[in-house]
Chains A and B, each alone.
Chain A
Amino acid sequence: SQLAEENSWALSVHEGESVTVNCSYKTSITALQWYRQKSGKGPAQLILIRSNEREKRNGRLRATLDTSSQSSSLSITATRCEDTAVYFCATAGTGGYKVVFGSGTRLLVSP
């Protein structure tokens, strides 16, 4: 079973709207990672949020982490068409030697 899992398979918004992708995980972690994968490309990390952090921002992106409920969220404000992608949360397994990805949330931003 997946160590981390996004809660929505797909989301659709219009440009300018805000959207939130949620993730739940099953193991204790030192950090949770958010990645974005655009069509034809490999995933690229957006935000790394450590277990002692509650919130982290990167431009229009904001990630939160709640270790008590083992959940995280990634919010995107003022969405653009180029935000259309698959968004993954990911955690490192025991010993930190491998990163396990959730099944991804497909985000479509339309004009």
Chain B
Amino acid sequence: ETAVFQTPNYHVTQVGNEVSFNCKQTLGHDTMYWYKQDSKKLLKIMFSYNNKQLIVNETVPRRFSPQSSDKAHLNLRIKSVEPEDSAVYLCASSYKFSAETLYFGSGTRLTVL
């Protein structure tokens, strides 16, 4: 049963455009994450939030900015996309900060032309 919802499923855009992805979890979790998955299926953590506060900010380009309005929502904005941003962006949540189990959404596939 899906409990982490991501929109859109797919997005195709041109280099230099701005895009935003949305994520909502209905599990009542305190912690949410953004992961980037490349074409080789490699999963890299980008950000994690705990109760709307940024906790983990991996080395990602400054054009990426996460936004959290409440602990159930975590969005991702990319200003001026680059071709290397083409990937699947996966949102996840966990019960608490210890992150023993992550629950993932189905991802947003971004293609930058």
- Residue B86 at the A interface, CB < 8 A? no
Instruction: Please classify how large the interface on chain A is, using the bins under 10, 10 to 19, 20 to 34, 35 or more.
Output: 20 to 34
A11 interface residue (CB < 8 Å to B): no
**Is A33's beta carbon under 8 Å from chain B?**
yes
Contacts A40-B106, A42-B105, A97-B56; is A48 near B45 (CB within 8 Å)? no
A97:B100 contact, CB within 8 angstroms: no
Main DSSP-derived SS at the A contact region: strand
Asked whether, in the complex, the Cβ of B105 is within 8 Å of the Cβ of A92, the reply is no
Q: Is the CB of B100 within 8 A of A42?
A: no
- The answer, yes or no, to whether B62 is at the interface (CB within 8 Å) is no
B41→A86 contact, CB < 8 A: yes
A31 CA / B102 CA spacing, docked (Å): 13
The docked-state distance in angstroms from the alpha carbon of A86 to that of B4 is 20
15 contacts between A and B (CB under 8 A): A33-B100, A35-B102, A42-B4, A43-B102, A45-B101, A48-B100, A86-B41, A88-B43, A92-B100, A96-B97, A98-B45, A98-B48, A99-B102, A101-B42, A103-B42
| Cα-based distance from A40 to B107 in the complex (angstroms) | 8
Contact residues in B for A103 (Cβ distance below 8 Å): 40-42
Residues of A within 8 A of B (CB): 31, 33, 35, 37, 40-45, 48, 86, 88, 92, 96-101, 103-104, 106
* Residue contact B102 to A97, C-beta cutoff 8 Å: no
Contact: B104 with A96, CB < 8 Å?
no
Q: Hey, what's the 0/1 contact readout for B82-113 against A, CB within 8 Å counting as 1?
A: 00000000101000011111111111000000
Q: Are A92 and B98 in contact (CB under 8 A)?
A: yes
Query: Chain A's nearest CB lies how many Å from the CB of B102?
Result: 6
B100 contacts across to A, CB distance below 8 A: 31, 33, 48, 92, 96
Bound CA–CA A45/B95 (angstroms): 14
